[in-house]
Amino acid sequence: MSECRKYRIEGRVQGVWFRESTRQEAERLGLSGYAMNCADGSVEVLACGDAKSLERLAGWLREGPRLARVDAVQALPYAGEPPDGFTTC
């Protein structure tokens, strides 16, 4: 059964390969969705897949790639249709 979660990641998360690293991790976990920069300097991630993989991604988002500094991760509800594949915007 597939479910979707949307995350907002705050900190030094733009310009540090956060979106691309998230895409790679999500694909490794078999998730679909996207990662995109927001105007306020945060990153938004939509991830869809099984609950165990979503939990693993959430843990990874709390750390991010080596150059990132994650200050906060918010999980937000998402009731839309799961997208195909994982993209960066």
> Of the residues 19, 28, 62, 66, which is catalytic?
19
Do 65 and 38 touch, CB atoms closer than 8 A? no
Residues 6 or more apart in contact with residue 79 via CB below 8 angstroms: 4
Q: Is 37 known to be catalytic? A: yes
Residues 6 or more apart in contact with residue 29 via CB below 8 angstroms: 49, 53, 56, 57
Residue carrying structure tokens 């991010």: 64
> Of the residues 8, 12, 37, 56, which is catalytic?
37
The set of catalytic residues is 19, 37
